[in-house]
Structures are given as C-alpha cells and as structure tokens.
Amino acid sequence: MSSQVTIWVDGRPDSNLPLPDRGLNFGDGLFETILLRQCSPLFPDQHFTRLQRGIQALGLPDCLARVQHDFESFLQALRKGEVTPWGVIRIVVSRGGGPRGYAPPVKPRPRVVIEYSPLDYDCGEMGAPARLGIASVRWSTQPALAGIKHCNRLEQVLAAHEALRADLDDMVMLSQDGHVVSVTAGNLFIVRDGSLITPELQGYGIAGTRRQLALSRWMPALGLGVQIANITPEEITAASEVFYTNSIVGVRPVAAIGNMSWHTYPVCTMLFRQYLGDLS
C-alpha cells in the first residue's frame, strides 16, 4: 500500500518524520483530505478555510501560506509523473517538535506532511448505497474542538474498526446523549416529510467541506430547504431517505443502518448531479 503513496515532509520528498514530534505524541495537529481530479484539487478554498480555523483553535503559529506553498509544489511535482484520473492528498500539519510534556513550545515550528494516494475507482460516479451499522463508541462532547479536523481521531478509528469487523461500509456515530451525529468519515443528512435535516455540530463532529457546499450551494440551487437539528435514531426510522457527504464520495446514498433499509435515493441523486456540475 505505502509503495503507492508519495510523501513529502516540509516541502521535500521524504517518508520520515523527524522525532520528537507532537503530532505523534499527542495528536497535536490538523489534517485535510483533498480530492484530486487529473491532479487538480477540488474545492481547495473550503479545505484551507477549515484548516485556518483549526490553526486558530489549536493556537498554532500562522502557517497557512507555507502549507499552501508546499501543497502547490507537491502538485507541480505530481503532474510531472503519471496523471491518474482520481487521487487524494492528505495534508497533516503537526505542531512539530518540542520539549517533553503537554505544554507547547514557546515558538513551535509546525511540520507539514503531504501524502498522495491514487484512487482506483471513478469518483464521478455516485457511490453504491452504503450499508451501515450504529457504532458502540460515541462522539465525546468537546466544544473547544468541535467542527475542526484535528488529529485526535481515536473515536472514529474505533468505530471504523467496528465497521471492518462487521463487514459494513461505515458506522453511524451517536453523541453521548444518543443523538445521531455522523458516519466515521462523513456528515449525515436525512429526508423526512419532504424536508432535509442534518445534525448540528456545536459540541462534536467535523464540519465537512461537502456538508458546507451542500448547505450553501447544492441544496439552495435545487430549492431544497434544510434544517440543522438534533436527530435521534428513531427519527431515522421515519426518514424516506438517508445519505452522507464527504470529500471523496461527494454525496453517497445509504441503503441500510442495521435493520432499517432504503431502496430509492431521489434527493441524493439530484444532489450528486449538482455536485458533479460544480466539479466542471
């Protein structure tokens, strides 16, 4: 797998992270997962806007321009090789080295790691309806970190591990008080009585770039209203349609969550077309 991955550290091809590093030690960093079509990044502004929010939330020194510079250099190098139809870049910004202990160094020097993986499927096709379960591990409540894409992701790792063992595509993750928040790698939407609902993310979750685009562009373009509100598992039973968004699939329908199932995906299909239109 790693033979297919091209890695840069701090602007140069390198597959080794200098130690000590607070990203390894504490998950003290941020990441973005950016889809590439023909080596062109999709919706980079949305990714870098969220990254900048994370930089501020974690109190990292302002390093966005350096990240963007490294990203552009990486893309230029990538384009000199074999250009695959679809690929994905993962950018990790760690707070870097420092002395022992939780307290950040007075003058941290963030490290920028960029990893590229080609994708062997066509992201221009809507994904097959996903079979999901409900994860036993739940999102913790942490308003100080909600919304941003930081590197403390053990909850999602544990939930994704559950999905793997259950041979499911992904897991729905609930909040500690039992509300539906997301899948491990995507934001959920339900259609109920003709209107759209997606969970609010003040206390937990990640504010996805495609969730944001769906709310601000694709749904308005289709004349679809959307409510941001708590959703219970029982409310999902009453939904006529369920789908999720993320930066790789765009919009993907849900076929089943446990013993609940859905067989038509008209709203999701319309949104996927809208998404495709935004790519061109």
Binding site for its own copies (CB under 8 A): 1-2, 5, 7, 9, 15-29, 31, 58-59, 88, 90, 92, 94-95, 97-106, 113, 115, 117, 136-138, 140-142, 144-145, 150-161, 163-164, 176, 184-185
- Closest approach, Cβ 253 to its own copies, in A, equals 20
Half-sphere exposure of 126 (CA within 13 A, CB side): 22
Instruction: Assess contact for 220 and 245: CB atoms under 8 A.
Output: no
3-state secondary structure of 194: coil
Measured from the CB atom, the residue of 209 and 274 that comes closer to its own copies is 209
Instruction: Assess contact for 96 and 133: CB atoms under 8 A.
Output: no
Going from the C-alpha of 88 to that of each of 118, 235, 236, the distances in angstroms are 6, 34, 31
- Closest approach, Cβ 27 to its own copies, in A, equals 2
Measured from the CB atom, the residue of 39 and 224 that comes closer to its own copies is 39
State the residue for tokens 């130690």: 19
Measured from the CB atom, the residue of 119 and 270 that comes closer to its own copies is 119
Measured from the CB atom, the residue of 117 and 269 that comes closer to its own copies is 117
> Residues 274, 276, 277, 278: what is their CA dihedral angle, to the nearest 10 degrees?
90
- Closest approach, Cβ 183 to its own copies, in A, equals 10
- Closest approach, Cβ 182 to its own copies, in A, equals 12
State the residue for tokens 């993320």: 246
Measured from the CB atom, the residue of 145 and 222 that comes closer to its own copies is 145
Whole-angstrom distance, CA of residue 127 vs CA of residue 232: 25
End-to-end Cα distance, the chain: 30
- Closest approach, Cβ 82 to its own copies, in A, equals 19
